[in-house]
Amino acid sequence: MAKIKIGVLVSGRGSNLQAIIDNIENGSLSAELAVVISDQANAYALERARKHNIPAVPISSKGYKGKREEYDALLVKELRTRNVDLVCLAGFMRIITLVMIKAFPNRILNIHPALLPAFPGLHVQKKALEHGVKFSGCTVHFVDEGMDTGPIIIQAAVPVLDNDTEDSLSERILKQEHKIYSRAIQLIAEERVAVKGRRVFVSGLENKKAEGMINP
């Protein structure tokens, strides 16, 4: 079977991208990385891609203030040129528009470092600590027009400890991010994911869920 072709959109350090690369290389993720695109030309994530001979394409967002649709049209063009089936936002610091969403319906994923719908947006761990939650975690979800609002595919929970700082909590959550993002991509590659309204169903997990196994 042909491997699903993914395009990863980044803005910064790219540790989630690295986990995807590593999981493809160790055989636990059956996908092909067709392109990595960054809105920041100096993003370290682009370096990571180049080290693995993955096409790394900076598409600067400079000059596109207030022209989000025009910028997204550039993304669509590049992703189509590379025959991308699935778009993965991994620390991509822009809100995408309908131009992208219509071009890739239910084919854009994002990872967020909280148990959505709690704490969308930025400064997520600060918000979790200030609120005093006992568990936080991460979420892989489909992207819709809102900010961190689309249907949820996988979540992983981590405890919040009394002595946690933003950094220590981020680090604990990031370890889980690196696992669940590849897992979500693999489930989609295996065509086991169905979206019905806000709910996402994963085939082959029904009994495991009943036994209390939350994360596929």
Q: Please state the closest distance from residue 172 (CB atom) to ligand GRF, in A.
A: 11
Nearer to ligand GRF (CB atom), residue 111 or residue 193? 111
Supply the minimum distance, in Å, between the C-beta of residue 208 and ligand GRF: 25
* Tokens standing for residue 212: 């209390």
Contact positions vs ligand GRF (CB under 6 A): 12-16, 90-91, 111-113, 174, 177
* DSSP character string of the chain: -PPEEEEEEESS--HHHHHHHHHHHTTSS-EEEEEEEESSTT-HHHHHHHHTT--EEE---TT-TT-HHHHHHHHHHHHHHTT-SEEEESS--S---HHHHHHSTT-EEEEESS-TTSS-SSSHHHHHHHHT-SEEEEEEEE--SSSS-SPEEEEEEEEPPTT--HHHHHHHHHHHHHHHHHHHHHHHHTT-EEEETTEEEETT-HHHHHTT----
Determine whether 178 is an active site residue.
Answer: no
CB of 7 to ligand GRF, least distance (A): 15
Active-site option among 52, 112, 123, 141? 112
Chain centroid, CA 87 distance in Å = 9
Residue number with the smallest Cβ distance to ligand GRF: 91
Chain mean position to CA 37: 13
Provide, rounded to whole angstroms, the least separation between the CB of residue 197 and ligand GRF.
24
Residue 92 or 104 with smaller CB distance to ligand GRF: 92
Question: Using CA atoms, how far apart are residues 184 and 190, in angstroms rounded to an integer?
Answer: 10
Nearer to ligand GRF, 46 or 200 (CB): 46
Q: Which of 153, 197 has the CB closer to ligand GRF?
A: 153
Min dist CB 109 to ligand GRF, Å, is 11
Of residues 112 and 183, the one with the C-beta less far from ligand GRF? 112
Q: Provide the annotated active-site residues.
A: 112
